[in-house]
Structures are given as C-alpha cells and as structure tokens.
Chains A and B, each alone.
Chain A
C-alpha cells in the first residue's frame, strides 16, 4: 500500500529512555516514563492511547515545545540539539505539526494568505515575486482540494473545521518538513471529513516521503492509516509493531481492551466485557 519498507528505511527520529515528569516532590507525576522509539524515514507511525496516557506530552517533547526530563532524542541520526533559539528554529524546519483543534490552531487576526505566506518565508521563498508565491500557494491549496482564489482575503473563522484542517495540511505541503506530527487531527471533525483528512495525510506522505507521526485515541484510524503502531498506556509503550500484527493479533491486554471497546461492524461487538 505504500513505499515504506521497514528493512531499508533509515532512522529519522529515535528516542531512548525519554521521560517527562511534571511537578516535584509529593506532587510529582510521571507523564511519559522511559519510552524508546525508532521512527524511520517515510514511515506512517501511529501512537494510540486513551486520554491521560501521555501521548500529547510525548508529542510536545518530540516537537521540542517542552523540555525532556530525562533521555535522549536523535534527529536524522544526530543527537537533537535545541538548546538555543536558533537551533530550535533549525529543528522546526525538519519537524512540523498539525494540532487537534482546528478552531484554536489559527490566529483569528490573521488572514489565510498570511498563514501561507509565512510558510513561504520560513522555507526561504520570501524573496520570490508575488505571482510566483501565489502560484505556490495555489498549488498547495489544490493539493488539499481547496481553491486558493476563494480563500484569499478570508479569515479562518469563515471556514469549516474540515477545511481548516485541510489548510493545515496545505501549510505542511509548503513547508515540506522531514517529520509531521499530527496530534489527533481528526478528533474534532465529523466522520465524513475525517476520511478526507486521512487520505490527504497518506497522499502527503507519498508526495514528499515524509515521516508522519499520527497521534490518536481511535485504534481503528491507527489501523487504517499506519505502517507501525505504538500503543501507549500510563506513559509507557505497552506494545508496538506493524499495524496488521499489532491490531489483528494484539498481545498486550491493554491493546486487546482498546480493540474490544471500539464498535465493530464485521464481527459481533462484545458488550459483556465492560
């Protein structure tokens, strides 16, 4: 289904013993507890867990938005260095994100053009003539089935949730990072727009051979889109492996429970195990 081959792909983002502890003393909570991972180039990874399992904290650490308490993260084979503002900026050229809430992801005071122009500026295309920029933005919008001509001079609040998330994908299309971290991008939009978004993420991965880290609570979605699945419970990965294996033949009790709790259509949904 995809070009990704787990045997030949090079590691892109790897972590060893990555830990995040909030608070101190008696109020200490371990949000992420010594997790190891190896995300490879061109891989579609899903991190699945319930709310409170630490998946969003992990994603913020991967993005470098919060500090890692303990552990190491390697980016493209090199230890990740985000100690200074300049280095962070450099890192963020390689990793980008789409967030959960399409309504909170936009600065309501910016027009849509400004969002996209900012991306061009970030990739060093700020000096191009306006026609060229419009051409690039139009291309990005058509990639996600939006028409730039209709969006120009509009504010984000004039778009529907699905359209906003698609625009976020257009933004990634312009930025072309190595890694995209999609933090529950479909949880706040309805089922119909959801499949559109998932298709576009797949297309995006194939288009620019990007690693996509997809964070979700819906194991069905994870199974549908990803090559590899990591199941997270209480800050730990309880199971990981190729999606087929992990979900059709789950080993960890937690994975089994997650699968059991999702409504089925082909098999009987066993309601007695609550």
Chain B
C-alpha cells in the first residue's frame, strides 16, 4: 500500500441559498487516494460532484460553506484552515484544481509565461524569470506542448491547446493532488484525447502524485482512473475499481449509470440502454432513508425508511445499499 496522498473523512459542506436555506451538497463523504493512484467520480448532473471538487480544495467562498469533516493532504489537515492560508500554502503546490471552463480563465492580454511566473512567484519569490522560463520550457516539452506557446497570448491558441496549457500551468508546482472537474467536456474528441493523454503523462512522470477526475462520461473514467466512485445526492453510493464498476456494478444506481454507456464498438448495439427514471432529489429536503429509493426499481418499503450503511467488501469495494451483495447479484441475474 502506497503513501496516502489525500484522505477525506466524513466531509460535509453546504450551500446557503439566498433565502437562507441550507443545502447539503456534500453530505458525509469519505475517501482516500494513495500515491500514484487516480480516482474517478461519476454521477448525474446535480448529484454534488462539482461541489465535492470545490470542497476538497479547502477554499470556501459564499455560498459554499464548510460544515464538518477532515481533509488531510499528505498528512496535513487543511479543513478549517484560514482561506488565505489555504490559498497561499495549499492551492497550487499541494492541490491543483481545473474546472470545466478553465481555458476561459486566461487573461487575453497576457502572455502564457506570465501566468507561470505568477503561479511560481506566489509560492516562491526567489526564482528568476530566466529560471522560470527554462523550467516551463522543459515541462512543456515533456508534456508535448510546443515551446512557442509560452510567448503567445491565450487568444492565439485553439480551445484544446488552451485547456492543455492551463493544465500545464496549474501543475507547474507538481501538486500532490490534481482535481479535474470535467476538464475535457467542452472539447471535441481529438482535443479531449490529447487532454487525457497529458493527464496520464502527468501521472506517469510523477508531476502529480494523485488525481481526482470528475465527469459524467463513464468510458472516459474507465480509461483514465484506477478507481471509480459513484455519487448520488451528496453521498457516495459505490466505490470500486474502474473495471468492476463498468462491467459489474453493484449498486442499482451505478447499474443504471453504466447502462447509459455508449461506445462505437461491437456489442453496444445489442445491449439495451437502461435509463434511470425521474430526477435526483432536491437536497433542500432530502428524502428519508435511502436517497435513491424513489427511483430504484428494486426498492422495498424498508429502503424508504432506513438509511443504508456503507458495506466494505474484502476486495476493497464499497457500496451502500440495504441489499446484500449476493441478493443484488441474484436480482440482476434474473433480469
């Protein structure tokens, strides 16, 4: 077992709406990532995965608020730290975050190298511009980005190139955890592939120690991450290795999600797509018992009354459902 890079224990964060209502978008999430591992987070829109990404950074700003739980980055608990300290000491060198529209974050009047100087100077004032340039040049070359990008403005780059540049900039300090929230969803397939390749390279070359990748595109997760975690209504419903998750999901919700996978490969046309009826619950008033019960076709009256516990299987898989593993497999086999 490798060194634990990120450990999250029972994290709860909430949004406070304009009408002063609390919405617990991340409601008791625990996870661990070892060095050199990557974790995928899947789920429908509105299940809380983007909020989880924001919460993991430890940098909270309204309307998002920290409630309870621990975030431990490489042995250092950052939950409850002063936001300013988090920004100065954690973001960039410990945790890097890439949102979906990251490429639009580049100020069009500045050259790319200026952003890199900014990032480095925010943490280490001693480096000279020359050193920074050499370092950036080297890093860009390894990641397959042309050197002349450094001297260009953001407007001169294509969407895919911009996104890769942003990723290169955010990981320039070799953070321990990279949180990528749908980093390739706005791109066409070819650029998406390049982004994925780059993230893999970052992992393989050790520039980032671990990664959290969030998307609703399951084939992508399957190809990028070691483990996949499925989130529903602010909670984790299942965690398994990528392979197990895609081909052998246990939780009925994961099962539904995996049923929506469409790839241009033989065999896909023959399997009937499964769709999950209904919409995720409104977290202002989360339902009693299992939050998925309303949409679950296997639900029993007990499901709506009792909150399922997280069950850990011997192989490290986790799921939270009232039905046992054996029962679930039986039910699926009979379909």
Contacts and interface: CB of A to CB of B under 8 A. Distances in A.
B266 A192 contact: no
A267 interface: yes
Interface centre among B219, B261, B262, B274 (most CB of A within 10 A): B262
Contact of A195 (B144, B200, B219, B275): B275
Given A198-B273, A258-B189, A264-B219, A160 B265 contact: no
A104 interface: no
Contacts of A264: 219, 223, 263, 265
Contact of B268 (A161, A220, A261): A220
A82 B261 CA distance: 41
Contacts of A162: 279
Interface string A51-94: 10000000000000000000000000000000000000000000
A196 interface: yes
Contacts of B144: 274
B267 interface: yes
A191 B257 contact: yes
Interface residues of B, number: 40
Given A264-B263, A274-B193, A224 B269 contact: yes
Given A145-B277, A192-B275, A267 B44 contact: no
A24 interface: no
Contact of B188 (A1, A50, A222, A269): A50
How big is the A interface, by class? 35 or more
Given A264-B263, A264-B265, A192 B219 contact: no
Interface in B168-223: 188-190, 192-194, 196-197, 200, 216-220, 222-223
Interface in A216-240: 217-224
B323 to A, nearest CB: 21
Given A199-B273, A263-B217, A265-B261, A248 B266 contact: yes
Contact of A192 (B222, B247, B257, B268): B257
Nearest to A194: B260
A1 B269 contact: yes
Interface string A246-261: 0110000000011111
A68 B190 CA distance: 30
B256 A265 contact: no
Nearest to A198: B273
A165 B279 CA distance: 14
Nearest to A243: B269
Nearest to B274: A195
A195 B263 contact: no
A195 B273 contact: yes
A109 interface: no
Given A160-B279, A190-B216, A192-B256, A263 B222 contact: yes
B276 interface: yes
B260 A261 contact: no
Interface string B82-93: 000000000000
B223 A190 contact: no
23 contacts: A51-B188, A190-B44, A192-B216, A192-B256, A195-B274, A199-B273, A220-B263, A220-B264, A224-B269, A243-B269, A247-B264, A261-B189, A261-B193, A262-B189, A263-B196, A263-B219, A265-B219, A265-B261, A265-B263, A266-B267, A269-B223, A271-B193, A274-B190
